[in-house]
Amino acid sequence: MANPPRTARAASRSRDGGPRPASAAASARAAAHADPGAVEITLADGVMVATLRRPGVANRVSHAMARELIDLAETVEDDDEIIALAITGHGAEFACGFDPDVDPELVETLARIGKPTVAIINGDIGDEALELAIALDLRAAVATARFTLGQLARGALPRFGGTQRMPRLIGAAHTLRMLLAGAALDGEEALRLGLVTYLARDRRDLERVTRDLFGALRTRGALGMRLVKDAVRKGRDMTIEQGIRLEEDLYALLQTTADRAEGVAAFLHKRKPLFKGA
């Protein structure tokens, strides 16, 4: 049998050589060392759901989990049968952050996905995990969730877009309140400020909310959703005149596609459209 990690061995002996309980911090370090975590994948009716699972450290994302998510993003983009990606956490929390060796490539890769992306926030979410969630398109949360950006408390700064994306969602003052004063938002305030798109009473209601959301996404054409995401994302950094020109160009592009013809035909014949993404 392999020897246990050094941190675990050190915590398991007292000065006289006898066993003693490990501290909470040592236990967390040992758990993190022993278990790199995993990303559990399910696919149903075109929606891929990635569940962050890392018991003992509140689903904190490891380097190995980050690589799984990056590979998953490529799969989502390449598979025409997948219409959307959702990310959630295992158990009572979404995730408390990332390990130090996770590369910023993770969040930027997820942010570039052309299909709809959703954070299903099933519990408390903090630090880098919240930076990941705000890089996705939509966020559905349970009302009891708490939202924090506590990097300064451990002598660090956000490095996954927290100082850039968060002010665009909730404004600079509320972002600084979270970062400088350590304010934690509850679900109701997160909804009011625009951080959360949908708010559920409890976890069962969260399942209903996300089920309805996915049902709505399935009625949209994949190409149309990709183009509208492109317009919104690029338009944020343009003048209103430039943004409207972009919108007109993308509208004209969609007019030339088979999906547009199918949408018109379905409307005229009062039936559901069968979009092909082309």
| CATH numbers and ranges of domains, the chain | 33-218 (3.90.226.10), 222-268 (1.10.12)
Specify the pairing of strand 84-89 against strand 47-53.
Answer: parallel
Collapsed DSSP state (helix, strand, coil) of residue 6: helix
Cβ(31)–Cβ(57) under 8 Å? yes
Give residue 120's pLDDT: 98
* Ranges of residues in the chain whose predicted pLDDT is under 70: 1-34, 258-278
Cβ(116)–Cβ(137) under 8 Å? yes
Give residue 217's pLDDT: 96
Give residue 265's pLDDT: 57
Give residue 256's pLDDT: 78
Query: Could you report the per-residue pLDDT of 181-213, keeping only the tens digit for each?
Result: 999 999 999 999 999 999 999 999 999 999 999
Give residue 266's pLDDT: 57
**For the chain, what is the mean pLDDT?**
86
Cβ(143)–Cβ(200) under 8 Å? yes
Give residue 22's pLDDT: 41
Give residue 98's pLDDT: 97
Give residue 36's pLDDT: 79
Give residue 24's pLDDT: 43
Determine the Cα–Cα distance for residues 241 and 226; give it in Å rounded to an integer. Answer: 21
CA nearest neighbour of 145 among 119, 170, 168, 167 = 119
Give residue 83's pLDDT: 95
Residue showing tokens 């979410």:
125
Tokens read off for 125: 């979410």
Nearest-10 Cα torsion for 184, 186, 188, 189 = 0
Determine the Cα–Cα distance for residues 190 and 197; give it in Å rounded to an integer. Answer: 9
The structure's pTM equals 0.81
Give residue 27's pLDDT: 43
Determine the Cα–Cα distance for residues 154 and 20; give it in Å rounded to an integer. Answer: 28
CA nearest neighbour of 109 among 69, 165, 153, 59 = 69
